[in-house]
Amino acid sequence: MSPPRDVSAGRPKIYLPTGPARYSGLEVDTPLLFLFYHVEKTAGSAVMKWLHKLVSAHDRDLGNLTPRLTSLYDFTHTSCLLSQHGDLFPGYAKLWDERRCSVPHPPPWQRSATAAEFHAYTKKRYWEDFVPVLPQLRAKYAAANGTVITVTLLREPISHIMSAYKMWPPSQRCKAGGSCDASFCSAVDAARPKRGDCR
């Protein structure tokens, strides 16, 4: 079944896992860029919920709010951020799409407080496209008396491994007549150079 068409706009609605990027219209005196590198199973979803509240004018639990962010680009919308800085990311300069990025044109970064999440498949974009240009981006913001903040969360290793194991348990295809071990110890042993010492 195909998604319903938005007849009033004359084109089909875009259904993304997280919806379009968030935009509040807030203008600030000094620019801010908050970059969140979301490592799986480290409470990154809680950070994103908090950031959604900072870009929203209303919250179901808190009522009316004053937005503190101009834009929020979750991991499905990082191309919007790179397009907003097309001078540093020329391959993305013409990729602004108002359906994905929520406004017809990139908001001026000099008057914006922006947050962006790099997660899942966009981590490759972060390392290959974004990190090499990060010093120039920091210099660009510093010249406008702005700030670039990079953040990630880490977690105590054992609880992190256990959480990842519970979320994505290993799966093994067992051949007929063969044994198959998909236990936690076998997963840990398989990840270590020296195997067989988990138990």
pLDDT tens, 111-136? 999 999 999 889 999 999 999 999 99
Query: Looking at the domain assignment, is residue 3 inside a domain?
Result: no
Residue 32, pLDDT > 50, answer yes
73 pLDDT tier (thresholds 50, 70, 90): very high
Query: Looking at the domain assignment, is residue 182 inside a domain?
Result: no
22 pLDDT tier (thresholds 50, 70, 90): very high
Residue numbers of the domain that contains 50: 8-152
Query: Looking at the domain assignment, is residue 178 inside a domain?
Result: no
Total domains in the chain come to 1
Query: Looking at the domain assignment, is residue 129 inside a domain?
Result: yes
| Cβ-proximal residues to 12 (8 Å cutoff; 6+ apart), any chain | 2, 3, 5, 6
Query: Looking at the domain assignment, is residue 82 inside a domain?
Result: yes
pLDDT of residue 6: 37
Provide the mean pLDDT of the chain. Answer: 83
Backbone conformation region of residue 10, classed left if phi is above 0, alpha if psi is from -120 to 50, else beta: left
The rounded distance, in Å, linking the Cα atoms of 80 and 21 is: 8
Question: What's the longest Cα–Cα distance across the chain?
Answer: 69
14 pLDDT tier (thresholds 50, 70, 90): very low
Between 182 and 9, residue with greater pLDDT: 182
Query: Looking at the domain assignment, is residue 134 inside a domain?
Result: yes
Query: Looking at the domain assignment, is residue 176 inside a domain?
Result: no
Query: Looking at the domain assignment, is residue 187 inside a domain?
Result: no
CB 59 within 8 A of CB 115: no
How many Cα atoms occupy the beta-carbon half-sphere of 95 within 13 Å? 16
Residue 13, pLDDT > 60, answer no
pLDDT of residue 197: 52
